[in-house]
Chain A
Amino acid sequence: MEKMHLDKHISQRFDADLERLKSQVLEMGGVVEQQIINSVKALETADSKIAERVIQVEDDVDLREVALDEQCTMVLACRQPAASDLRMVLTVTKMIRDLERMGDEAQKIAKMAIALNESGKAPGGYDEVRHMGALVQKMVNSVLDAFARFDVDQALEVAKADKQVDREYKSAMREIVTYMMEDPRSIGRVMNILWALRSLERIGDHARNIAEHIIYLVRGLDVRHSSVSEMEAKLKKS
């Protein structure tokens, strides 16, 4: 099948089940995306209030994951989906796991923001956080959009963007190490920045995982553990 669609089943309730799964994943994705934006903002602006809010909302993300998982189980048990429908349900179960982990990482960043507020600002690294935060947030937004439109090309772009995030992370690390060497007393605070950057890098990895799930969903191709060029080759071949 070149193009995915969830409707046109003889059973309209099956259409509704799948559409509901999709819209609820997008809702959950929207919440997680906002969590990432807020956690980065909390760190940048040293705003503990925003950070506290991120920590509270994390519970909501967890509940959404559990509810969606339950719905997937019901669809599998009641409909015994096949082909693209089966891939849809499997993809949702995997996607929500990645989304939930992204939420966890956002919560970690929020905790780092609170810790930094208590211990005083770090000597640097905020530009790196802002920069990587923007990149990662764009990836998350883009991968959710790719899911909404079942767009393989856009998913591939997200996988490419993850490589850039990895590069940015490495160069930020080098920068951070120099801050530590310049002023060993700041190591504790700089470590908080470092953990935040690490969380952003992980969020990028989860976005890439979701991109891989989308490629499986639409094309039935398993592109896990492949480089971007291998992914492109596999897509071309199929």
Chain B
Amino acid sequence: MEAVMKKTMTENSQKSAETEKMTDIAQDISKQKTVGKPFSDNAKMSMRNVNVFYADKQAIQDISLDIGKNEVVAMIGPSGCGKSTFLRCLNRMNDTIESCKISGEITLEGDNIYHPKQDVVPLRARVGIVFQKPNPFPKTIYENVAYGPKIHGLATRRAELDEIVETSLRKASLWEEVKDRLFSPGTGLSGGQQQRLCIARTIAVSPEVILMDEPCSALDPIATAKIEELMAELSQNYTIAIVTHSMQQAARVSHRTAYFHMGKLIEVNDTKKLFTNPEHDLTEAYITGRFG
């Protein structure tokens, strides 16, 4: 056994050389090509060669990815890797930032969402978004959910609106908890309930795609578990893209996972594959906690 231990020690010195090699890879990041399975046969949204700049700074470099119909795609990566920026491109949330410039093509069911004639209001009804911090309107629970359908003209009569509110709250697993106080303020709910209210508000306008930007990072484990359960149910009818800092969450909720690093999409793979046997050294290093 002594011989075995000695061999292990010489291995250790070789390992540090490998780590140096990995650092080189990280520095050479702009040459990286996406490995794995970025494309889908049944794409709901398709992104091709997307670049995003904030003034002179490039936040996203040449990313191509499909999100399949009824698929949950998780986006992970260290802070500042561009995953949230990328998510926000999918319903043109970045339009509000003046210095932000986008090139490449993003399509929803084949329609270019950055077409000059594309109106962003109906686009954002088709592609809804849930943010990190629950942000209910300072109105009643009922109004929070009814507001979207009203402005999009989805209901003409009060009874129809009532039905949309109830269905949406049921889908967001919140109905039982709030049905007796629909006309009290949404801001009076707990954090987890507020986040589910925001999800109900998103669902109320019958979107096709739901974007979630770290939807559970402000919530406790019980509220998180409820939202994750909800995502599994929602994925039967909706397409979901989620940005998360919790790798366990990505592993639990998604079908495919995309790993971003310094504005590049490094690897996209089936979640099971990515978390047990990733193809790229950078993915491996990140998910095993070897660099931040």
Chains A and B are bound partners: yes
Residues of A within 8 A of B (CB): 1, 3, 5, 7-11, 14, 22-23, 26-27, 29-30, 33, 79-87, 144-145, 148-150, 219-220
Complexed CA–CA distance, A81 and B11 (Å): 22
Q: Does B278 contact A (CB under 8 A)?
A: yes
Which of B1-9, B208-216, B233-241 lies at the interface with chain A?
B1-9
Contacts of A8 in B (CB 8 A): 15, 19, 285, 290
Closest 3 CB pairs of A and B: A220-B277, A30-B1, A82-B287
Contact call A83/B275, Cβ cutoff below 8 A:
yes
Complexed CA–CA distance, A9 and B291 (Å): 7
Contacts of A220 in B (CB 8 A): 276-277
Q: Mark B214-248, 1 if CB is under 8 A from A, else 0.
A: 00000000000000000000000000000000011
Which of A26, A33, A87, A150 is B5 in contact with, Cβ under 8 Å? Answer: A26
B247: nearest chain-A partner, CB-CB = A82
Complexed CA–CA distance, A71 and B149 (Å): 55
Complexed CA–CA distance, A27 and B2 (Å): 10
Contact call B276/A83, Cβ cutoff below 8 A:
yes
Which of A3, A10, A29 is B289 in contact with, Cβ under 8 Å? Answer: A10
Q: Contacts A9-B290, A82-B287; is A145 near B7 (CB within 8 Å)?
A: yes
Complexed CA–CA distance, A5 and B284 (Å): 11
Contact call B4/A145, Cβ cutoff below 8 A:
yes
Cβ of A15 to closest chain B Cβ, rounded Å: 10
Contact call B248/A9, Cβ cutoff below 8 A:
no
Q: Contacts A26-B1, A83-B284; is A14 near B289 (CB within 8 Å)?
A: yes
How many residues in B have their beta carbons less than 8 Å from beta carbons of A? 28
Cβ of B282 to closest chain A Cβ, rounded Å: 11
Contact call B4/A10, Cβ cutoff below 8 A:
no
Contact call B289/A26, Cβ cutoff below 8 A:
no
Cβ of A101 to closest chain B Cβ, rounded Å: 20
Contact call B248/A148, Cβ cutoff below 8 A:
no
Contact call A148/B7, Cβ cutoff below 8 A:
yes
Complexed CA–CA distance, A74 and B28 (Å): 37
Contact call A149/B7, Cβ cutoff below 8 A:
yes
Complexed CA–CA distance, A9 and B18 (Å): 14
Contact call A11/B284, Cβ cutoff below 8 A:
no
Residues of B within 8 A of A (CB): 1, 3-5, 7-8, 11-12, 15, 18-19, 247-248, 251, 275-278, 281, 283-285, 287-292
Complexed CA–CA distance, A33 and B251 (Å): 39
Complexed CA–CA distance, A7 and B19 (Å): 10
Most interface-central of B11, B19, B281, B283 (chain A CB within 10 A): B11
Cβ of B190 to closest chain A Cβ, rounded Å: 27
Q: Could you show 15 A-B contacts with beta carbons less than 8 Å apart?
A: A1-B284, A3-B15, A8-B19, A10-B291, A26-B1, A82-B276, A82-B287, A83-B284, A83-B288, A84-B284, A145-B3, A148-B4, A148-B5, A149-B8, A219-B277
Complexed CA–CA distance, A22 and B8 (Å): 10
Contact call B276/A149, Cβ cutoff below 8 A:
no
Contacts of A1 in B (CB 8 A): 278, 281, 284
Given known contacts A8-B19, A8-B290, what 7 new A-B pairs fall within 8 Å (CB)?
Answer: A3-B15, A10-B291, A26-B8, A30-B1, A82-B275, A86-B276, A148-B4
Contact call B11/A149, Cβ cutoff below 8 A:
yes
Contact call B1/A144, Cβ cutoff below 8 A:
yes
Contact call B7/A82, Cβ cutoff below 8 A:
no
Contacts of A219 in B (CB 8 A): 277
Contacts of B3 in A (CB 8 A): 145
Contacts of A83 in B (CB 8 A): 275-278, 283-284, 287-288
Complexed CA–CA distance, A40 and B172 (Å): 67
Cβ of B236 to closest chain A Cβ, rounded Å: 27
Contacts of B4 in A (CB 8 A): 26, 144-145, 148
Complexed CA–CA distance, A26 and B5 (Å): 9
Contacts of B275 in A (CB 8 A): 82-83, 86
Contacts of A150 in B (CB 8 A): 11
Complexed CA–CA distance, A33 and B1 (Å): 9
A14: nearest chain-B partner, CB-CB = B289
Complexed CA–CA distance, A219 and B284 (Å): 13
Contacts of A145 in B (CB 8 A): 3-4, 7
Contacts of B11 in A (CB 8 A): 148-150
Contacts of B251 in A (CB 8 A): 82
Contact call B287/A11, Cβ cutoff below 8 A:
no
Which of A3, A10, A14 is B18 in contact with, Cβ under 8 Å? Answer: A3
Contact call A5/B15, Cβ cutoff below 8 A:
yes
Complexed CA–CA distance, A70 and B172 (Å): 40
Contact call B15/A80, Cβ cutoff below 8 A:
no
